[in-house]
A and B are shown apart, each in its own frame.
Chain A
Amino acid sequence: MKILQIERLKKYFPIKAGVFLQVVGHVKAMEDVNFGISKGETIGVVGESGCGKSTLGRTIVKIYEPTAGNISYFDESGREHDISKGLHRSVRPLFRRDVQMIFQNPFDSLDPRMTVRDIIREPIEAHNLVPSSEMDGYVSELLMKVGLYPEYAQRYPHEFSGGQRQRIAIARSISVNPRLIICDEPTSALDVSVQSQIINLLQELREENHISYIFISHNLDVVHHMSDRILVMYLGNVVEASSATELFDNPSHPYTKALMASIPNWSPENRKLQDVRLEGEPPSPINPPPGCPFHPRCPYRLEICDKQKPVSRALSEDHSVACWLYDR
């Protein structure tokens, strides 16, 4: 069952300058993103800083209004709602309950003046899901589900470590029984020994409650572990989209290959970074290069690459790539 269908989604941020705040340009944060997500499915979005992966997540939860494109939301009964032009009053409560978000930094995403109980209770009350007499029991149950003690409900966020705080944020997001959670770098701010705990927890919750995730991260290994399908983004564009296993077995876009080659090997006998010769840095999204966004850094550049932007073409049923090398 489909939850979201996204077509040609685009987000430009205006740059304003001068006394009259005239628009002098645009940050082209995201161009032409297409994908759909069904119940129980996890879509991974991977890319480096500035590639538009967070913009994508935030546009989907309607923190940002898209510049162009379509977002269709399917409610629990399967009815389709077009939410690209804002949330209609009748859709808002359904959508806001169905789609939740977990942020990167649990030191910023939890209100320091609220107790854990209040933090978790707020969305439940907003949606009127549990009578107040049963609230404390429900909060305890949620805390246990995410691996915390029910006694912690009395405490404040500053009393917890990063990993524990991320568990609180997860408890808050699952408190309203959402069908889709957008995880924006949920483990990046955590210590390595704690990261795996949080990933395991997210997986358990998926299996128990059939939650779908849009899992955004710069860490290719983590995205591979979590996702069914992966979108690789570069400078606002999806350059490759594939199932997770296929992407790792058969990376096709030169950027995906470079990204994989840049991950250290964890083996001192087999040092591989010295072979990586990807030059330059991602250009500014204000003035993206003409043609393929990756061409200034691409080792396989062709003549056409700086003239015309490659469109995404299918290599196989579940693998598509936007690169002129695969034009034939």
Chain B
Amino acid sequence: MSKILDVRDLKTYFRTPDGVVKAVDGISFEMMKGEILALVGESGCGKSVTVQTVMGLVKVPPALVEGQILYRDRNLVGMSNKEYRNIRGKEISMIFQEPMSTFDPLFTIGYQLTEVAKAHMEWDDQKTREEIISVLRKVNIPEPEKRYREYPHEMSGGMLQRIMIAMALITNPEIIIADEPTTALDVTIQAQVLNIMRDLQKEFDSSIIFITHDLGVVAELSDRVHVMYAGKIVEKALVSDLYNSPMHPYTRGLLNSRVKREYKGKKLPYVEGYVPRAHEFPKGCRFNPRCPHAMELCREQDPPEMSISETHAAACWLYGEDQRL
């Protein structure tokens, strides 16, 4: 598999009245063609800011972006807006969390999909319409010719989310970024949308960056997982390794927080404390105040990424040279 996206030491900082918020603080990851990579973390961990930076949706200035985002040997950091427009929406497209607020209520579905197609593809009107209807059919929209003329308020949330997937697919992109695409949906609808995403990923052979806080969804869909906490990636693993042998104490905490049947009548295991806010990240490892294994070193120094195997790494002092568990 070839490498399609290479993010190196990416930093996205925002200036706020409370001080500089280091929303993304030096993360690196690679993405291979045709894989589904999940970025997992809780609110405020920087997962959404990471992909917004990749999409060029973070305005610089006022924000500060450093590092490299290499897509096909081109660095997206510092690229002009004009150049970006040829990539954004065409080669890298995005699916957002809230289908209800992503579409413009004043225009028909067909109009909004046409807008995307016209901006990036050189199709005539006839061909555009055909392509749109065919992609709507692919995401299981019943009667796409009729839906084409309808407005967003006439659809349910699940249907709109599928139309948003269609919108992301119409330009046949290399990378699709899905930011919590099923969080606003009910579980039975979530299952439908995840199944469609999995099927279409195979059909189009695109790569997906899937952002979520739900480890159940990650297990169902992804090939590799990166766990984020407080602006850093704390663990990188194949999906099977992450569930079978989680390394970072935070990942273990997240996996333990699943409400299992056998806990009934007992206390649920939980992670102590709260997620720190972006302008008050603790010194050293950012997880140390909540970590059951915190050592002196953890309070002083931020751990680098420690390699556990070729495909598994954790940013934790427990896996340093002399501390190996």
Task: Say whether A and B bind each other.
Answer: yes
Q: Which of A198-235 contact B (CB under 8 A)?
A: 199-200, 203, 218-219, 221-222, 224-225
Q: Which of A266-286 contact B (CB under 8 A)?
A: 266-269, 271-274, 276, 278-279, 281-282
* CB <8 Å contact, B257 and A193: yes
Contacts of A241 in B (CB 8 A): none
Interface: B261 (CB within 8 A):
yes
* CB <8 Å contact, A161 and B275: yes
Contacts of B70 in A (CB 8 A): none
Interface: A132 (CB within 8 A):
no
Q: Specify which of B42, B188, B254 lies most central, judged by the most chain A CB atoms within 10 Å of its CB.
A: B188
* CB <8 Å contact, B216 and A193: no
* CB <8 Å contact, A164 and B215: no
Query: Which residue of B189, B192, B216, B270 is within 8 Å of A263 (Cβ)?
Result: B216
Interface: B186 (CB within 8 A):
yes
Q: A200-B268, A221-B259, A224-B261 are known contacts. Are A265 and B188 too (CB-CB below 8 A)?
A: no
Q: Mark A247-275, 1 if CB is under 8 A from B, else 0.
A: 01000000000110111111111011110
Interface: A134 (CB within 8 A):
no
* CB <8 Å contact, B258 and A193: no
Tell me the smallest distance from the CB of A9 to a CB of chain B, in Å. 23
Contacts of A191 in B (CB 8 A): 42-43, 213, 275
Chain A interface mostly: helix
Q: How far is the CA of A264 from the CA of B275 in the complex (A)?
A: 25
Q: Specify which of A163, A224, A268 lies most central, judged by the most chain B CB atoms within 10 Å of its CB.
A: A268
* CB <8 Å contact, A258 and B188: yes
* CB <8 Å contact, A266 and B243: yes
Tell me the smallest distance from the CB of B38 to a CB of chain A, in Å. 11
Residue of A nearest to B193 (CB): A273
Q: A203-B267, A265-B216 are known contacts. Are A193 and B259 too (CB-CB below 8 A)?
A: no
How many of chain A's residues touch chain B, expressed as a range?
A: 35 or more
Interface: B253 (CB within 8 A):
yes
Contacts of B271 in A (CB 8 A): 193-194, 196
* CB <8 Å contact, A193 and B275: yes
Query: Which residue of A163, A193, A248 is within 8 Å of B253 (Cβ)?
Result: A193
Residue of A nearest to B267 (CB): A200
Interface: B85 (CB within 8 A):
no
Residue of B nearest to A51 (CB): B186
Residue of A nearest to B159 (CB): A281
Tell me the smallest distance from the CB of B240 to a CB of chain A, in Å. 5
Residue of A nearest to B239 (CB): A268
Residue of A nearest to B277 (CB): A161
Contacts of B239 in A (CB 8 A): 268
Q: How far is the CA of A85 from the CA of B90 in the complex (A)?
A: 60
Q: How far is the CA of A196 from the CA of B159 in the complex (A)?
A: 32
* CB <8 Å contact, B195 and A225: no
* CB <8 Å contact, B187 and A48: yes
* CB <8 Å contact, A271 and B264: no
Q: How far is the CA of A312 from the CA of B222 in the complex (A)?
A: 41
* CB <8 Å contact, A276 and B269: no
* CB <8 Å contact, B270 and A224: no
Q: How far is the CA of A254 from the CA of B260 in the complex (A)?
A: 22
Query: Which residue of B194, B222, B261 is within 8 Å of A248 (Cβ)?
Result: B261
Q: Specify which of A196, A244, A279 lies most central, judged by the most chain B CB atoms within 10 Å of its CB.
A: A196
Q: Which of B135-166 contact A (CB under 8 A)?
A: 156, 158-159
* CB <8 Å contact, B217 and A264: yes
Q: How far is the CA of A161 from the CA of B188 in the complex (A)?
A: 30
Q: How far is the CA of A279 from the CA of B261 in the complex (A)?
A: 27
Contacts of B274 in A (CB 8 A): 161, 163-164, 194
Residue of B nearest to A199 (CB): B268
Tell me the smallest distance from the CB of B293 to a CB of chain A, in Å. 16
Tell me the smallest distance from the CB of B79 to a CB of chain A, in Å. 34
Contacts of B131 in A (CB 8 A): none
Residue of B nearest to A163 (CB): B274
Contacts of A222 in B (CB 8 A): 259
List 25 interface pairs A-B (beta carbons < 8 Å), by A numbering: A163-B274, A191-B213, A193-B253, A193-B270, A194-B271, A197-B270, A200-B267, A203-B267, A221-B258, A221-B260, A221-B261, A225-B263, A245-B264, A262-B188, A264-B217, A264-B220, A267-B219, A267-B243, A268-B222, A272-B220, A276-B188, A276-B192, A279-B192, A281-B189, A282-B186
